[in-house]
Amino acid sequence: MTDKALKINTSQTPEKFIHSANEIITFLVESLQKIDILDKEVFERNEALLNPKEPSLIQPGEMELVAEYTERRKMITDSISLKPQEDFGYFPGKPSRYDYMNDTTVKIDFIMKSNTRAVIEIEYEYFTKRKDQFIIRNVENNWKIESKNVLLSRKDGWEKKKAEL
């Protein structure tokens, strides 16, 4: 799965589904790591294209890099998601979207109440406490990401927003 021990909470999951935690979490973590590796690679390549004398202009090769990124990102997300992802809504930056998976303080809540659906919430800190919530479904014996929400810490609880993968 990963080369570091993850802090996984399964307290909301009935005993009969605990055995599925490793398989589903491994699927999600490996999927997010694929996206993270691509994002970091493309960010570095984009940085190398930048002309410090004209940083606000589109640089030679930049549009081709965007097209390549979109195609490669779509290949990854189409293989792990139930819904096609057309618009990623951003270009890779620093830190990358899933860089938090390299943080040893990340906490994972695994919630499974049926054999076809699991909820994984990954709590991390980026200026404030946040959670990425992934709804995972078993479709024809394959785990796929059905949706993603971002939960932002507020004084009175968590604010939930739909998010793209």
pTM of the model: 0.88
Question: Taking phi first (over 0 means left), then psi (-120 to 50 degrees means alpha), and beta for anything else, what does residue 41 get?
Answer: alpha
DSSP letters for 34-77: HHHHHHHHHHHHHHHH--TTSTTSPPTTHHHHHHHHHHHHHHHH
Averaged confidence pLDDT in the chain: 89
Instruction: Return the higher-pLDDT residue of 87 and 118.
Output: 118
Query: What are the pLDDT digits (tens) for 144-161?
Result: 999 999 998 888 888 888
Query: What are the pLDDT digits (tens) for 35-83?
Result: 999 999 999 999 998 887 877 777 888 889 999 999 999 999 999 999 8
Cα(65)–Cα(82) distance, integer angstroms: 26
Would the CA dihedral through 42, 33, 79, 110 be positive or negative?
A: negative
